[in-house]
Amino acid sequence: MSDSVNQPRTFEVLTAAPVRARRKPRDWPDEEKERLIAETLLPGANVSAIARAEGLDPSQLYGWRRKALSSGLVAPLTEAAKEEVKFARVEPAASSTVEIVIGDVVVRVAGDIESDHLAKILRAVRKA
């Protein structure tokens, strides 16, 4: 039997980086969320790249986006929607009435309408 005590030995010292402390959740203002969601709905937008550029986890931005789309208040542009619009004409007007054109439907809205009521009207027009 050989004497293993007097044999040369090799040791490897393992080092590791310290574990980062968990980040404190950031409270995002609604305006900032709306801006980021609007960016993700642009044609050709990369949701993950937008999230990382803002220091946000992509899954969080996807969650906000999914919630906004399911609410019916926003919708991504589709190829069909782009083809239906032939031209846009802007005419300055002195009145507070706004015309919203969705397909072949025109919705005329006074400036003093409540936003919740307008959202319900637009959802009904989209479903029709």
Which amino acid, residue 35?
Answer: R
- What pLDDT was estimated at residue 89? 58
Q: What value does the mean pLDDT take over residues 92-96?
A: 61
Q: Rounded to an integer, what distance in angstroms lies between the CA atom of residue 69 and that of residue 90?
A: 28
> Please, which residues bridge with residue 106 across strands?
101
DSSP 24: P
Report the SS3 class of residue 62: helix
Cβ atoms within 10 Å, residue 21 = 6
Residues 6+ apart with CB under 8 A from 81: none
Would you say residue 93 has pLDDT above 60? no
- 45-59, 65-79, 81-95: range with lowest mean pLDDT: 81-95
For 9-59, the pLDDT digits (tens) are 888 888 887 777 776 777 888 889 888 988 888 888 899 999 999 888 899
Q: Looking at residue 84, what is its pLDDT?
A: 54
- Is pLDDT larger for residue 125 or for residue 84? 125
Mean pLDDT of 59-71: 88
pLDDT of the residue at 105: 77
